[in-house]
Amino acid sequence: MGLFPFIFALIVGLTGPRNVKVLDKPNDDGSAVIIEWDSASVTPAVKMISIYKIPEEMWGHGSIKVVDLLSRNTFRYVDTQVKPGKRYYYYVRFWGEGDYIDSKIVGPVVPKAEWFHKERLPMLVVLLIYGGLLAYFLKRIRKGEEVYIRPIAGLQAIDDAVGRSTEMGQPVLFILGLGYINDIATLAALSILQRVAKKTAEYESELIVPCFDPVVMTAAQEMVRSGCFEAGRPDLYNQKKVFFLTNDQFGYAAGVDGIMMRERPGAIFLMGLFFAESLILAETGHSVGAIQISGTTSITQLPFFIAATDYTLIGEEMYAASAYLSKDLHQLSTIKAEDMMKGIILATITIGVVLETILTLLGKPIPNYIKQFLEGGLWK
């Protein structure tokens, strides 16, 4: 800009950007550059800020690109429209009332991809600890040592529920909910269904499985067939008892309620994904006098199942069901390592809260390097 606009800008208080810096953004794939400037240089006369970029190949050709327009309260900008390995120059412009002042051109800066994300080092530490625990428990289990896993009441009650239904001469009803085959909760429910099918075959009880989705129905038929074969009673498998009902939410609830009222099952299993129909199903099951075992990962439906059913698998207890029922070595070691890792994390959080509380009361805040490690910022 000319001399007169420059003098005028100084009179009205408009000053140029100071201490402008350009840096390669750390811990990224080389697709970002950071531009910073001194916040003290932003006077009340500054109305707007603009960022300009000059790629190296355009240097001296007058090709300048406006990167972005910013508010006056901005002191840092991240440009994500760059390519790794290329050189870039930048300058910042402060706009006043009809005038502007530019900073010096700074650079070049070369964005580079990082091999290692240093901010994620704490996650690497957690992963290594978990991997060590997994290898340790797998080795113990392979040696034949007993590994304690917390009992899950709902899974322990499966045999009793099927036995009670058999003694009463009534069928067992297994409801897979409204999930699809790609839902983890549905897959967990199918593994439980196989165990229930095996028990009903051993006790020669009738098993009814109404399905919401045709694909889930096909998988459920295979689970029931597999359970009957494991029990040594393939002759008891009845494909017609594992059937598609409807894919309408409340139509499915009404149809299942009708089955409950007609068949009067002695045991009802509600496993999988459930929504607004959960209480309708559970209350109807309670009204027919059946023992009910439920399980879902839907947080909003858990209170209804806890209130209306006899046993409830809460959240990831459903995921642990496969390992708990099959006694597979690899799955058991995974569950045990996961439980131990949760204990370590819980203990770390508890110790950290107590330590920071004590140090704060004593007027000695927790050392910054510990905070930085936990936040992943020690190696920025």
* Same domain (yes/no): 248, 142: no
Domain residues for the domain of 28 are 3-109
pLDDT tens-digit map of 197-253: 999 999 999 999 999 999 999 999 999 999 999 999 999 999 999 999 999 999 999
> To the nearest whole number, what is the mean pLDDT of the chain?
85
* Tokens encoding 148: 């304690």
Domains: count for the chain: 3
Partners of 86 in the β-ladder: none
* Same domain (yes/no): 292, 191: yes
202 within a domain of the structure (yes/no): yes
CA gap 62, 108 in Å, rounded: 16
Mark 85-103 as b/e (b = at least 16 C-beta within 10 Å).
eeebbbbbbbbbeebbbeb
Say yes or no to pLDDT of 79 above 80: yes
Mean pLDDT on 288-315 = 93
CA gap 193, 189 in Å, rounded: 6
Of 279, 295, 319, the position where a domain reaches its end is: 319
Say yes or no to pLDDT of 1 above 50: no
> Please, is 377 exposed, middle or buried when counting C-beta atoms within 10 Å of its C-beta (0-12, 13-18, 19+)?
middle
Say yes or no to pLDDT of 295 above 60: yes
* Same domain (yes/no): 201, 301: yes
199 within a domain of the structure (yes/no): yes
Cβ neighbors of 378 (< 8 A, separation 6 or more) are: 121, 369, 372
324 within a domain of the structure (yes/no): no
Angle at 335 between CA 330 and CA 341, to 5 degrees: 125
* Same domain (yes/no): 262, 181: yes
> How much is the pLDDT for 368?
62
Between 68 and 158, name the one with better pLDDT. Answer: 158
| Backbone dihedral region for residue 39 (phi beyond 0: left; psi -120 to 50: alpha; all else: beta) | alpha
Q: Mapping DSSP to helix (H, G, I), strand (E, B) and coil, where does residue 63 land? A: coil
* Same domain (yes/no): 219, 142: no
Between 231 and 364, name the one with better pLDDT. Answer: 231
CA gap 268, 283 in Å, rounded: 12
Share of the chain above pLDDT 70, in %: 90
